[in-house]
A and B are shown apart, each in its own frame.
Chain A
């Protein structure tokens, strides 16, 4: 009987030797006459265990990780084919404490199935949501998604159902669904993981949005830094089209819907929805004035749903299980689950999907187990490069859109970057300005000029030049950027800067201390 062995195609695994392991296993199997099939699955999200090699046995799946290139022979000698004992054996991956603590709705198939097998997708609950959506019709789908309480997972937290309703009611012969897969925030990888590990889920979510709004064309704007996701997503679209899930008659319905992947060109600002649309149109990715809203006049001036990948990928489960099922998870106005991405200097980093409401401390010290270096956590940046740095004193903040806003922070795309006590917060504040200066689209003055002036002023602070006077200047500048910028790039850069200054004042005092060794 053929033994199925799983070696992820996910970038976490590939960047740490998964392709080499596949070559090793193929050669060894041929030499030993082993009857095996290698399945390139997605990642389960336990990044510290990648590459996580799994074997399907009579007792279920048994995992081993992290397996490094060169270790495959020893793993086979230990009895990999039958799930034999080995120092790196973790048993059934689904029984691992990191997995047991999760509520996997959006990521339920990720790491389990063959990402490019549509049969596997259907066997694990795929396409039920889309079929139900087609039966319900567009108005019913909009109601269901609105009722679920789903809010935009890209960071803005705008109710998805209301966005869809606006597009549905907008006049226009041609409408678009655009998936924002320009996941540029450091510390985030949920979009990448779902595109690599369960691409049909995004396709189904986009098709559901098409049913809701009457759109006939979908684009996935995917960043060029994600070569694996680009390849997997394109192949999944090809297969979905060949199977009739997409095409002139989507799932046999009267509606046509096609999807195309468009590759970005390395501009962080294109994660902002209006600059993404300009980029798709073939222009410089500059931010547009709003109104008009993209829902009314979006891509090529036509009504357009533009949603984050995770927002779209959350809808198949909502349609399959119903709004109430989804809504029952979460707290306050943050309903459902959120895929936390725990990164940086972290012991157990990866993706953890859970209902809203865990505290920051429970996440970084409990689930993630603290830092990789073993030193105490000093700061946690939540929400990407435009998110605030949280000190230990705020570790009781629950993970919820409103609770984070109350503490002058944001959850953004749910990226959580852990720093240990060696971090110099002056450097981090300086970097926030530097990043904004590099990535500013240049359209509005507060961001274009403010970022450069902020960088120069932080350099003076670091050099010990009139520290208190220059910090006052930084605060004033941040105020201008926050309220005067056209989009979140200039508008939110003050979050990391001011949170560093407020919560870690000891790093900014007096004479030059640990000046960056550059």
Chain B
């Protein structure tokens, strides 16, 4: 995954100007901002609100509603492990526990060295090759203990 850019409110302004012609531009703008900087800082919320003629509360309300957006920086890599029913049925809970232990963190946390953020995800659509996970934007299926260990090792690189 490409390293994230340093925050720059001029960049945010440019993203907004580029996308504001879309119908309902706020989600595409927030995705673009998070892609660029790795998170959606409060200062970006201020710039977006100003340029879209919305209140900061409205933009903040959208950022906080969706699981994908986060206001604080994440680890260099994000490991999302599916916790939904099909993965549960295929032994996913044990895999999830193993990954937590290997990384030494709980779901929703980032490792102390800032390398990995571990998140729960509810379904990657890989339910017939469960359990599954996604490291940044790469998909992994049929996780067993050995594959889970390789995945956590790779995430920490």
Contacts and interface: CB of A to CB of B under 8 A. Distances in A.
B124 interface: yes
Contacts of B132: 15
A262 interface: yes
A428 B85 contact: yes
Q: Which of B26, B31, B132, B141 has the most CB of A within 10 A?
A: B141
A256 to B, nearest CB: 15
A342 B124 contact: no
Interface string A259-299: 00011111110000000000111111110000000000000
Contact of A48 (B30, B128, B137, B139): B128
A88 to B, nearest CB: 15
Contacts of B88: 344, 428, 431
A11 B124 contact: yes
Nearest to B25: A282
B122 A344 contact: no
Contacts of A418: 89
Given A15-B139, A184-B122, A284-B65, A385 B84 contact: yes
Contact of B67 (A47, A188, A267, A300): A267
Contacts of A11: 124-126, 139
A435 B90 CA distance: 18
Nearest to B137: A227
**Size category, B interface:** 35 or more
Contacts of B122: 184, 186, 268, 385, 435, 438-439
A228 B124 CA distance: 11
Contacts of A342: 128
A187 B27 contact: no
A330 interface: no
B123 A185 contact: yes
Q: Which of B68, B85, B123, B141 has the most CB of A within 10 A?
A: B85
B85 A381 contact: yes
B35 to A, nearest CB: 11
B130 A343 contact: yes
Interface in B69-100: 69, 80, 82, 84-91
Contacts of B142: 15-16
Interface residues of A, number: 62
B15 interface: no
A186 B123 contact: yes
Contacts of B80: 225
Q: Which of B24, B86, B91 has the most CB of A within 10 A?
A: B86
A240 to B, nearest CB: 20
A417 B130 CA distance: 11
Contacts of B127: 186-189, 341, 343-344, 349, 415, 417
Contacts of A14: 139
A164 interface: no
B61 A192 contact: no
B154 interface: no
B125 to A, nearest CB: 4
B10 interface: no
Interface in B109-157: 121-130, 132, 134, 137, 139-142
Interface in B49-79: 61-62, 65-69
B84 A186 contact: yes
A495 interface: no
B28 interface: yes
A200 interface: no
A12 interface: yes
Contact of A265 (B30, B89, B123, B128): B30
A186 B90 CA distance: 12
Nearest to A190: B125
B6 interface: no
A341 B31 CA distance: 30
Contacts of B26: 282-283
Contacts of A346: 128
A118 to B, nearest CB: 25
Interface string A191-231: 01000000000000000000000000100000011111000
Interface of B: 23-28, 30-31, 61-62, 65-69, 80, 82, 84-91, 121-130, 132, 134, 137, 139-142
30 contacts: A11-B125, A12-B126, A12-B129, A15-B126, A15-B140, A16-B141, A47-B128, A186-B84, A187-B84, A187-B85, A224-B31, A227-B134, A262-B28, A263-B27, A265-B67, A265-B69, A267-B66, A267-B67, A268-B122, A281-B24, A282-B27, A283-B26, A284-B61, A284-B62, A341-B127, A341-B128, A343-B127, A372-B90, A385-B85, A417-B86
